[in-house]
Each structure stands twice: as C-alpha cells, then as structure tokens.
Structure 1
C-alpha cells in the first residue's frame, strides 16, 4: 500500500508541478510543452528526482494514446470551411514537404556523421514531420491570432503528415533489419494503404460515432468521454487494418465537430481538459526517458542537424510544396519557421529502439535535441515572427457562449456582450435582424427583453442570436468597439464588400484604377487579387487606397477596412 501511495504521490506531484509551471509559462512566451519535458528531465535519473525510467514500450503506448486524444481535440475544433481552405496546401506539405525535409536532412546527416545512408535517411524520416500537439498548443498559447489561411494550413498539416513520416520510418527500419528484402511496389502499397484506409475509416466511422452521440444527447462530460473512447476505437481499428490511426482520428474529430450542429462550448471545454492531460502526461513520460548526460556526447551533431532542419530543409520543403498556391513570401517564411517538432518525432525515434536497430540511441538523442531546439527557438519566437511577418490579425470578440442546437442542425445560439461605442449601441434590436440571423432576446440588468419590445441597445447588454457559425465575425463586429490597434491595422473607415471600387476611387482615390478593375465591387476586387478564398487580413491596394478584409463569409469579403493615402 505504501508503494502505491508513493507512486501516486510522485506521479500526481510531477503532473501538478508541470501544469502549474505550464500555466505560468505563457506569460513569458515559453511553450508549456517545453515545461513538461523539462520537469520530466529534472525528475529523471540525471535530475534532482533520480527516477530511473527506461521503459520505451510503455512510453510508446502512452505517446500513441496521448497523440490520438490531441488529434481528436484538434479535429473537433477545425471548422469545415477552414478545412476546405487549408486542405490542399496542407496535404502538399504533409506528403511532398515531409519527403523533401526527410531527404535533405538524411543526406546532410549521412555526410556530417559518416553513418550508413539508411541511418541518415531514418533520422530524416523521424524528424521530418511537424507535431500536432506542439502546433495546436503553441499557436493557442502564443497570444496572437493568425490569419485563417496560415493557421488552417499549419494545423491541418500537423494532423495529416504522420502517415508519410511513419511510412518513411518503417521502410528504413525494415531496410536496416532485413537488408536483403525487396522494397518496391509493396512499400508504395503500404503508403497508399496508410493514407487511404486512414481517410476512409476516419470519415465513415466518424459519421457513425457522431450520429450515435447526437441520438444519445448525454451531458457534456459524458459526451466528451464517449467521443474520446469512440475516437480511440477508430484509432485502434484503423491501425489494425493497416491504415493511419492518427489520420483517422483527426478526421473523426473533424466529422464529429461539424456534422449536424457539431459540438457546443461545454463539450469542447471538457475535451480541452482531456487534451491537456494527454499532452502533459506524454511529455512528462518522454522527459523521464531523457538522459541529459548522454545527450552531450552527440550534442554538436544534434545542434547542426537542428539548425539545418530549421534554417534550410524546412524552408526549402515549404517553398516547393506551396509553389502551386497563392501564398505571400512572408506567409511562407512564417509557415517554414513554425514547423514545430514535438512528441511525434520522439515516438517515431522509439521504433528503431524497439526493433533493435544499431545506432538507435544516437538517433534518439539527436531527435530529443532537435525537439528541444524547436520548442525553445521556434516556439518561444512564434509571437514575434507572426507580427514581424504580418500574418497576425487583431483578435475579434468571441461569443460569451456558443451552443449547438438539436434542430435546425446548422444553427447555433450565440451570445455577445455589447461594448461601449460598438455599432449596435443606440439601434433598435429588430434593426439588427437579417437573413439567416435573428436576435432572440436581450438581457439587461437582470431583465430579459424580447424582440417584440424592440429595446434600444445599450453598452453592457447581452444579446442572444440564432445564426450559423459563419455569421460570428459579423456579429462580433456589431457588438465590438474597435481599439486603436485595430484602427491602425484596418483603417479608420469601413466599406461594404458590395461597394463599387469606382465609387471609392472617385471619393478618396488619388488616380484612376487599372482598366481591368473598372466595374468591380470591393468583394470582387479581393477575389481577383487573392483568389476565391479570401481571409481576414488580406490586403489590396488601389489608387493609393489600402483595403484590408475585416469580415469574410464563405471566402467573400463582406466588410473591409479603408486606409486613406498619406
């Protein structure tokens, strides 16, 4: 009994310490995942805790389960419109990008360390993919809001790139274990099977699970537990069938989060707690595996590989992968810099250890240093780089509450608080009603006022709306007062997307617009300039005027900020 209590005390004490320090680290721009990893290292055999832990099999199991929960949570929070926006570039990065990164790092490691080319390429495959836990956590904790095109590409890439990294790792482990085996069409079939089965089973089983949960209609805590257990079943079934469980569980979360009303705020809050538990436990265990005294033996090589990956291999892979898409150079630089490595490379580094491949401790130690450098260098500088590369946008006011309705499935109950100076102040409630969005009630000083009373809106009022999620930015704009930072970013004036460009130029412009832009509206101008999927923050200049997208629905600019010449 005493040993059980001691084990419980040590485990919960480490978890509590990591969570406490992780919650404080956001104030200093330090990724919480790095804190958990360091706490685990300090508790390990070379640290003050002196815990001798080298059970790689247990760490592998815990890492897989935790990654599955984190990917499920990431899929639940990805809106279908966002997925459509970032899918093609993310898929290119997740396949071609990972292959290019792995090849470049493999060639560099083979030349630098003089190892067998298969060992070098194995290292490239292990560190070739970005990590969902790191990307989701660091972006969320950085305190900046990225433009949707960049954010969706990064998040979806981290959810899709595991099959390629696993394929490369398993192929090279197989080559090292059995050099005489043939690896032609069978390995290509394995890659197709990983992606194909992962996608099909994730989508189909995601539909089944979401339908079951919609019919059960359990309380929020139980709903989240059912989602986690159902997602874990999808993960295990897909792996048993030979597909990518990581891809399947991410798509299961995507389906469950968007199908027929999706999930409400309370379910997402419960899932957030589970994702925190998963990522903190995983990084603590991985930290316990680290032996810092052994890392110093290969530190120069590890630092060189990390620098090559961050400063050359990843940027080249991003540039080539995104050539067919409309990304600005500064967006590509930021995407390249935010190729965060985390738990996935460490878990992949366990594969050769379990298979008994020679020089695997060398690969494991280098992988750990690459992850640490990535979290320290890239993770802590994400906020600075986002502003430097101008991919961050001022955060919009989020609803006080978002509730998915049983019917109609595409409508949500959204509650906003009206700020002093907002556009809605002084207007009758019924004046704010438009197609597809309806104000249901207004709450003021412990009184509920209905639309039939048509109250005039005041600062501090809570307004509940029935609307699709796509209307959230427009409702936020109505109820939110623009700060000075927002005015500097968007401009002092706001124009509607349906405004003719010629009309703006006639009033404010300094010269005539190009002939090709004659007769276009502001929304059409953005479509012509940036493509069919504009996002908030996209910028167009015409006749000395700067137009910046402020509200976007279905890829079309609804409102734009206007900055005058000079």
Structure 2
C-alpha cells in the first residue's frame, strides 16, 4: 500500500532541513561562520520568500516549538556544567547578572529606543526587555566550540548567567505585553510575582533533579534504551509542573540538570551524550523555524534602528551592567570585558519577540523584525570574534582536545563508582614510578591508559610517565585522593 504524498512530503522536507542544518554546522567549523547563523539562513532560504517556498506564518507555533527547544537546551546545559567551578562567588555574581543585569540592560536599551530613536514608549520598552537576556543556545554553542578556550571559572560564570537569565526577560516581556493589552497586574504584585517565579522554579528544579537521580539509581528498567526516554520525559514534566504552579519552567529545567550534574547516577555517560544530541537537535529545529517565520524583504527597513540598538546593546548596556555587578569581585577587568563581549543574543530574544505577535499588538511586526536583525548582527559579530577577543584580552587558555574512548565504560551508581580521567604531570610523584607504588586500597583502579595516542591496560609494574592519560574507576573520594600523586593541576573529565 502506497503512503499518501501529503503525509510523506512534510517528513521529507523536515528531514531534508535537518540534514541541511547538520551540514551547515560542518561549514561552521571549517570556515568560522557561527552555526546558529547558518541554521537561521537555512530556514530563511527554505521559507516563503526563499527558493524553498515553504509557507509558514504562525507565531504561536514558533513560540511553542521554541519554548520546548529552549527548556531542553537548558536542561542539557545544567547537566553539562562542572559544579567544581561553580563557586559561591560565581553563583552569586552570575545570579546578579541574570536578574539585576537583565533589568539594567533592558532599561538602557529601552531608554535609548524611546529617547534617541523616538520609538513609542511601549514598543521601546518591549524592545529593551526582549533583548535584555543573553541566549543559552548561542553562548553554549560558541563557548563549547573548538576555537574558544576560557578558564573554567570564567566559562562557568558566562554559562550560568546565560542559562538562568531567561526567567527575568520572560517576566519583563509578559508584564509589558499585559500592560500594552490593558491587562497589567497590580503594581505591588509585580515584584512578588517575579520572585515567586524565579525562586519557585529554582526550588522545583533542584528537588526534581535530586529525585530523578534517586529514581535512576533505584529503578531497574529491562531495556537500557528506556533510560533516555525517562530523563527526556522527566525534563518535560519538571518544566510543565513549574509553569502550571506559576513559577519559571525554564529555571526549573536548568536547575534540574544542574542538580544532577554533581551526582553519580546510572548510565550517566550515555545519558549525557543523549541529551547533548537532543540539545543540538533542538538548536537546529528552533533556528530553522525562526528562520522560516521571518520575511527577509521586511528586514531592510529595520536595518538602521537595528544597527543603532545593536551598538548600544554591545558597547553600552551590556558592559554597564557587567562592570557594575562584577565590581568588587575577584574577576579582573579583562575578565569583565570578556563577560561583556560574550553576551550573545540568539533564539531566546526571537522567541520572546513572538509574544507581542501572539497577543495581537499592532507594533508586533516591527518589534519582531527589529529583534531579528539585532540577533543576526550579534551572532555575526560577537560569535566569530569571541576567541579573538579572549586572546586579545589574554584571558584565553589552550583548548584541550578530548578524544572519545575506544570502549564504552560507565560507573556503578549503586556503589557510587564513577569513571574519571587524570593526566600524569611531569615532575609529579607518579612520573617515573610503578603503577603499583601509586595505587593502594584507598586509590581508584586504573582500567585504561593512553600513551602517545595508544590505549592499553596497564599492570602493576607499568612505569608511569609525564603526559600519560589514566582512566580511573572509583568513588569521588578515591579519585581526589589520587589526584595529588599524579599531578598538581590535572584535568578531571567526569
């Protein structure tokens, strides 16, 4: 029986667009063009005004798809965070940037739009609010590329801020849209509602992440393929519950992943790899849909205000917020400038720009096109220059290439065992010693060793040398006990 062509066509088109998105990412790494920009361009070419000719004009569908994609990207962002680098200082300063920093940025951009560009008050303030937050998808994509090497603490601050500042921007946009529609909340309830959404979402997410770890470690599913299904569904449940009870689902999704990041759970490595793939899929889907939604012919008339707003955002509003809120911290001036520069705008502002369209505001089309132009400019300018800026500011570190292991290994969640990777530092105690002399009953088991590109299983008489890469099986305490023996500043890949 032949399948109806009307059924096959959407499948074929969707699959072809995904393939085009994946191939675009390859072009990105080869020619230095931001992958996210290529995804957007691919969507625009496939749209009604491009060669693809696909008609798509549904802000509501774009907002729904973008919201799903964003919370899954945030969940993965939390999972991939190394909690050893999330110190008290980083957490506090990151939280300030994600809240007060977003408000400062929104205020400066909004004031510029109203006073200098003579944009109507509501439209100007909405533009400031929509463009106030950095985009997690764009920041993760740039910072985790092969060209940008930053100190772990600085990288964690930037990623933590970008992943946790969406609730503030969403709250500002929703409040302003309600005000424009004549349905504004009572003034005294505004800050209360904001704090409830932020703190409530964080609490729900963290508790859910801890609970999910316990479930993963106690449940015994018959098929390993069901574990990714469970965590994917759990992320959706966390987001949905948080939103239904009136808190931030985006914050809840990120905090759930963050709570899991520092814990040992069953199938940890395979689940991390699965959610990384889901995050990439969501990035491609989200930017393709947003590319389909825009009409390129309408962008040119917004070029001048878009360029002006971009300049103020990158050179005034963002730096002002960062410099003020990191003042007095142990982050150097160069590091603060780097944080300012890597405040990329991406899919999140474009998704927020669909809120006025869904609400039916008269100026919604103008707002959307201006935001789209600013986002493209930000990704085009700030994305490719992030590595160059890090080198100019001398805050860069060498980017270490971590090769995949030739075998699949995972820790034992029931006993708290995990797999870690340590490098033998030249001049350390282990350099020139037999493996037997470095080990002991309180040390982890060295299950695999890599020397000069070759993997092998070492024995007790194997003589270690500087540069050797050891793959260890043990508890966190055992691995930390061995660290001083092999190096002073080893990199541990959990």
From the superposition, tell whether residues 378 and 142 of structure 1 become closer, same or farther in structure 2 (CA, over 3 Å): farther
Instruction: Give, in whole Å, the separation in 2 of the partners of 1:87 and 1:262.
Output: 27
Equivalences for residues 245-256 of structure 1 within 5 A: 245-256=249-260
Matching residue within 120, 127, 141 for 1:123: 127
Instruction: Give, in whole Å, the separation in 2 of the partners of 1:309 and 1:476.
Output: 45
Aligned alpha-carbon RMSD (Å): 3.0
Equivalences for residues 103-118 of structure 1 within 5 A: 103-118=107-122
Matching residue within 197, 202, 205 for 1:202: 205
Instruction: Give, in whole Å, the separation in 1 of the partners of 2:352 and 2:145.
Output: 25
**Matched residue SS, 1:135:** helix
Output the TM-score relative to the length of structure 2.
Answer: 0.89
Deviation at 1:440, TM superposition (A): 3.4
- Please tell me whether residue 404 in structure 1 is matched to residue 431 in structure 2: no
Equivalences for residues 229-308 of structure 1 within 5 A: 229-261=233-265, 264-308=268-312
From the superposition, tell whether residues 457 and 234 of structure 1 become closer, same or farther in structure 2 (CA, over 3 Å): same
Find the counterpart in structure 1 of residue 323 from structure 2. Answer: 319
Instruction: Name stretches of at least 5 consecutive residues in structure 1 with no aligned partner.
Output: 480-495, 497-549, 554-566
Deviation at 1:202, TM superposition (A): 0.8
Deviation at 1:217, TM superposition (A): 5.0
Find the counterpart in structure 2 of residue 433 from structure 1. Answer: 439
1:411-439 alpha-carbon deviations (Å, 9 max, x no partner): 42235688999985642002333796434
CA contact (8 A) 2:81 2:258 kept: yes
- Please tell me whether residue 344 in structure 1 is matched to residue 351 in structure 2: no
Find the counterpart in structure 2 of residue 563 from structure 1. Answer: none
- Please tell me whether residue 95 in structure 1 is matched to residue 99 in structure 2: yes
CA contact (8 A) 1:417 1:463 kept: yes
Count of residue pairs brought into register by the alignment: 480
Instruction: Give, in whole Å, the separation in 2 of the partners of 1:10 and 1:228.
Output: 25
Find the counterpart in structure 1 of residue 215 from structure 2. Answer: 212
- Please tell me whether residue 457 in structure 1 is matched to residue 460 in structure 2: no
Deviation at 1:115, TM superposition (A): 2.6
From the superposition, tell whether residues 435 and 149 of structure 1 become closer, same or farther in structure 2 (CA, over 3 Å): farther
Find the counterpart in structure 2 of residue 30 from structure 1. Answer: 33
Output the TM-score relative to the length of structure 1.
Answer: 0.78
Deviation at 1:10, TM superposition (A): 1.3
1:474-520 alpha-carbon deviations (Å, 9 max, x no partner): 869959xxxxxxxxxxxxxxxx6xxxxxxxxxxxxxxxxxxxxxxxx
Find the counterpart in structure 2 of residue 140 from structure 1. Answer: 144
Deviation at 1:457, TM superposition (A): 3.5
**Matched residue SS, 1:78:** coil
From the superposition, tell whether residues 389 and 462 of structure 1 become closer, same or farther in structure 2 (CA, over 3 Å): closer
CA contact (8 A) 2:443 2:481 kept: no
From the superposition, tell whether residues 446 and 164 of structure 1 become closer, same or farther in structure 2 (CA, over 3 Å): closer
CA contact (8 A) 1:474 1:551 kept: no
- Please tell me whether residue 413 in structure 1 is matched to residue 419 in structure 2: yes
Larger Rg: 1
CA contact (8 A) 2:266 2:413 kept: no
Structure with a larger share of its residues in strand: 1
Instruction: Give, in whole Å, the separation in 2 of the partners of 1:263 and 1:446.
Output: 23
Find the counterpart in structure 2 of residue 191 from structure 1. Answer: 194
CA contact (8 A) 1:439 1:463 kept: no
Instruction: Give, in whole Å, the separation in 1 of the partners of 2:303 and 2:98.
Output: 29
CA contact (8 A) 1:418 1:460 kept: yes
